[in-house]
Amino acid sequence: MGSISSYKELIVWQKSISLVKLIYECTASFPQDEKFGLISQMNRAAVSIPSNIAEGWGRNTAKNYIQFLRTARGSLFELETQLLIAVELKYITDCMEIEKLIVEISKMLNSLIKKLEMK
């Protein structure tokens, strides 16, 4: 995909990995009865974002990559919704850093998708 030789060089992938770490740290303080509920859902949605960026890269065609980037974006929106639910349930009080990162990743995914669609 251009001059980048690995998905690991993509800033959007790197930021997605940072988001995964923040989500895991955040959900560690949730009530244990959420272990198979919101904790699991949020962790899986977060992991799905960089995973889909990487898997799409491996497909080696722009059309396939765009589909995986859209899936990553869907997981990002899913995570954002789950984060809002966690705030409503008062499991989280301050999630500004996570929200900021979600917005940033969303913009980066949108930009990358648009760039690939033009090829």
Q: How far apart are CA 105 and CA 100, in angstroms?
A: 9
- The HSE-up count of residue 59 (CA atoms within 13 Å, CB side) is 15
Tally the domains of the chain: 1
Question: How confident is the model at residue 4, as a pLDDT?
Answer: 81
4 near 10, Cβ under 8 Å? yes
Domain assignment present for residue 2? The answer is no
- Cα→Cα distances 82→2, 14, 106, Å: 35, 22, 16
Domain assignment present for residue 1? The answer is no
How confident is residue 105, by pLDDT bands cut at 50, 70 and 90? very high
CATH code, domain carrying 14: 1.20.1440.60
Phi, psi of 80 (to 5 degrees): -60, -40
Domain assignment present for residue 80? The answer is yes
Determine the structural domain holding residue 107 and report its residue range.
7-117
pTM of the model: 0.94
Domain assignment present for residue 51? The answer is yes
Domain assignment present for residue 107? The answer is yes
How confident is residue 2, by pLDDT bands cut at 50, 70 and 90? low
**Average pLDDT of every residue of the chain:** 94
Mean pLDDT (whole number) for 75-86: 97
How confident is residue 60, by pLDDT bands cut at 50, 70 and 90? confident
**Local structure of residue 7 (DSSP, 8 states):** G
79 near 63, Cβ under 8 Å? no
